[in-house]
Amino acid sequence: MPKSPPADRRQFLTATVALPLLSAVDTKSSVPKSRIVVAHDPDVLLSLSGRVDSNRLYRLLNDGIQALAGTDSPREGWQRFVRPADVVGLKVNCLAGKGLSTSVQLTEAIEQCLQEAGVRPENIIVWDRHSNDLENAGFRVVTDRRRPRCYGNDIGGYESELMTWGSVGSLVSSTLVRTCSVIINLPVLKDHGIAGITVALKNLFGAVHNPNKYHLNVGNPYVADVFMLPPIRSKVRLTICEAIVAQYEGGPPFMPQWCWPMRSLILGSDPVALDYTGWQIIEDKRREKGLKPLAAVGRKPAWLAVAADNEHRLGTNDPGRIDVLRIV
């Protein structure tokens, strides 16, 4: 079992980042900022195939949640987002197989952290759109209600009534609607050949029965509108983006020639701010590798501005209102 963060590291984080939960304040304007934490460990990745040091990953995860919440301990940080009575759904992204999916190691580390925060193991559900995708990414389908479960919407089912918002009309995952009280969103940082990027907001395409209909016009406004469906918007409480290995071109399938070892996790409760931050990281890497920006190749994620507009209010895409906290 991974070990708890050493006391001196916890004290360092407390001393340097103990700010109000989820936001910092710009002293010039007194406008709250959305906090995004980029937690980095240069030694967390053991091989470019994605094998990680589980103890380091566990510590990185706890350091990140403590920094995000501004608490005195990781356990208190987790308790800002979940309560012991919650049924917590971990929405993974397993479309790309073992190469570039939410890892089993990260998911198991989160399960351990949740249990240490008081959530019962039988109240944790790992889920995605298809059970086959989960198995291809290294997960094992589990439906035993006495322990953490893991299955796709093909097992959990969809609601029978269409839910609508703006441009979308979909049947939503019954696991999300009826079983879970809280969703922790676990995307992977990667490029998307149609929508520009796929990080926090787009990962909830896996919660609806017809995501294939929502890729027109670079996913705009569909990515924002799917997230506005009431059970999605109300239950997604936290995003932990896996960026241990990330991809800057050729996504969403795994294309190793366009991957790089970022060795980080990106955490936040504002999915728009997190997606904006991830977009800029991908653009920086594209620039470094001599590729054109997404706008120049017709894949600018314009849906981010829609998600932040006065109609949606899902978060902010204004870099002046995003406080990116980097910890090592």
Pairing type for strands 259-260 and 182-186 reads: unpaired
Other residues' Cβ atoms within 10 Å of the Cβ of residue 97: 14
Dist. CA 83–CA 119, nearest whole Å: 7
Tell me the whole-structure pTM to 2 decimals: 0.91
pLDDT confidence of residue 21: 43
Task: Please give the DSSP secondary-structure letter assigned to residue 209.
Answer: S
Residue 272: its H or E element: helix 271-288
Q: Is there a domain that residue 7 lies in?
A: no
What is the mean predicted confidence (pLDDT) over 65-88?
A: 97
- Total domains, the chain: 1
Q: Do residues 129 and 176 lie in contact, with contact meaning Cβ atoms separated by under 8 Å?
A: no
Residue the block writes with tokens 């406008």: 31
Q: Do residues 7 and 63 lie in contact, with contact meaning Cβ atoms separated by under 8 Å?
A: no
What is the mean predicted confidence (pLDDT) over 103-112?
A: 97
Q: Is there a domain that residue 22 lies in?
A: no
Q: Is there a domain that residue 23 lies in?
A: no
* Chain mean pLDDT for the chain: 92
Number of H-type helices and E-type strands within the chain:
11, 14
Check pLDDT > 50 for residue 283: yes
Q: Is there a domain that residue 18 lies in?
A: no
Instruction: Look up residue 61 and give its two tokens.
Output: 């995860």
Task: Measure Cα distances from 185 to 43, 102, 144, 250, 315 in Å.
Answer: 25, 10, 22, 23, 15
Q: Is there a domain that residue 25 lies in?
A: no
Residue 89 burial class via C-beta count within 10 angstroms: exposed 0-12, middle 13-18, buried 19 and up: buried
Check pLDDT > 60 for residue 13: no
Domain CATH for 104:
3.40.50.11440
Dist. CA 72–CA 278, nearest whole Å: 27
pLDDT confidence of residue 48: 72
Q: Is there a domain that residue 15 lies in?
A: no
Q: Do residues 113 and 216 lie in contact, with contact meaning Cβ atoms separated by under 8 Å?
A: no
Check pLDDT > 80 for residue 91: yes
Q: Which of 205, 206, 107 is nearest to 150 (CA)?
A: 107
Range of the domain at 283: 30-327
Q: Where are the alpha helices (DSSP H) in the chain?
A: 7-17, 54-69, 74-79, 104-116, 131-136, 153-156, 174, 222-227, 230-235, 271-288, 303-307
pLDDT band at 30 (very low <50, low <70, confident <90, very high): low
Q: Residues of the chain with pLDDT > 90: what percent?
A: 87
Q: Is there a domain that residue 131 lies in?
A: yes
Instruction: Look up residue 325 and give its two tokens.
Output: 């906290």
Instruction: Name the β-bridge partners of 190.
Output: 198, 247
Q: Is there a domain that residue 88 lies in?
A: yes
Dist. CA 113–CA 104, nearest whole Å: 14
